[in-house]
Structure formats: C-alpha cells, structure tokens
C-alpha cells in the first residue's frame, strides 16, 4: 500500500495530510504528534498576507517620506516676502493711547523712524476703529505729513487738528 499526501483547501487555509513516514517527526508539538499515523499541517494564509501587507506598508512609508523630503527641499528656494501692508509707513510709526471707560477720547503720538516724537494730538468725540484699513490709511497720511514738517523745522508740534481734519473727510 502506497500512501500519498492529499490536500484540503479553502479560501483561508490549506490542510496537507501526509503519512508520518514522509515528513520529519513533529516532536516539538508534543506527544500527540509523535505517535500519530497521519500528520496535519495547516498553512495559514493570514501569515503570508500579513508579511505582504508589511512589505506594502513599508514601501508606501518610504515613498511618502521621500516625497516629503523632496518637496521640502524645493520649498526652500523661494525668497521670503518683504511686502509691507499698504497702511504701514516707512517714515515712522504711531501709538494710540485710549481708555476702555472713555473710548471716544484718544491721544495719538507720531514718531519718526529714529524714535523721536514729531507730533501729538488729542482727539475727543471720535472713536477710532484701528482694525479698519481706512482708519489706518488716514493715520499714515497724518504721519507722513507730520514727519515731513518735522524734517523741515525739527520742532515737534501738538494739537494742530491734523487727525481731526483727516477723519472729517
């Protein structure tokens, strides 16, 4: 009588049945397998799929890292933007002093680029909306006007109603 192996398979695993004389003894699995005539070997395809998924995951990870590094190196070629907002003056700056309890009373100080005060004005009855571009552009105009006047005379002036006339337009 010749014993040959036979196979039973389904979608998740295969069973290979062979006589114990055709394979090495399976003593590492315990005494049940030492004396048995037929040995069952179950090949689990999940392990094979898991190994394939690991390979796919690592290849995908390597690709993503390569693309991230390559795009980061291209992103450094651009020069930083030195564009100023249109309401920002190159001649100097201003400081608005106000109070929460009296929002319609403001004191505005105008300074040149060398931090010297060139003009000061107190505005009563007008609430300044400093988040609006229109307000900032008007303050820029008053700053430029007061800096040019200061450069001609080198005298700081106060309350000449420059801001009040700028906001009445």
CB 113, CB 142: distance < 8 Å: no
Which tops the pLDDT comparison, 139 or 51? 139
Distance, CA of 119 to CA of 69 (rounded, Å): 53
pLDDT value at 144 more than 90: yes
- Read off the pTM: 0.52
Give me the sign of the Cα torsion angle 31, 35, 36, 40: positive
Question: pLDDT value at position 5?
Answer: 53
pLDDT value at 123 more than 80: yes
Question: pLDDT value at position 42?
Answer: 45
CA angle 98, 103, 105 (to 5 degrees): 65
Model confidence band, residue 168 (pLDDT cutoffs 50, 70, 90): confident
- Supply the mean pLDDT for the chain: 75
Beta-strand pair 117-124/157-158: parallel
Beta-strand pair 13-19/92-97: unpaired
pLDDT in tens, 5-48: 544 555 554 555 555 444 444 445 555 544 444 444 444 555 66
Q: Distance from first CA to last CA of the chain, Å, rounded?
A: 115
Question: pLDDT value at position 75?
Answer: 55
């Amino acid at each position: 009588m010749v014993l040959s192996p036979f196979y039973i398979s389904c979608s998740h695993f295969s069973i290979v049945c062979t006589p114990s004389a055709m394979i090495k003894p399976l003593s590492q699995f315990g005494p049940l397998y030492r004396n048995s005539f037929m040995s069952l070997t179950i090949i689990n395809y999940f392990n094979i799929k898991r190994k394939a998924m690991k390979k796919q995951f690592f290849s995908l990870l390597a690709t993503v890292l390569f693309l991230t590094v390559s795009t980061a190196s291209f992103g450094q070629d651009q020069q930083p933007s030195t564009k100023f907002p249109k309401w920002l003056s190159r001649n100097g700056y201003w400081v608005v002093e106000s109070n929460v309890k009296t929002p319609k009373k403001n004191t505005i100080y105008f300074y040149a680029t060398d931090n010297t005060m060139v003009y000061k004005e107190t505005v009563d009855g007008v609430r300044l909306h400093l988040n609006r571009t229109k307000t900032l552009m008007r303050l820029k105009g008053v700053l430029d006007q007061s800096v040019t006047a200061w450069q001609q005379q080198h005298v700081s002036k106060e309350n000449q109603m420059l801001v009040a006339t700028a906001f009445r337009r």
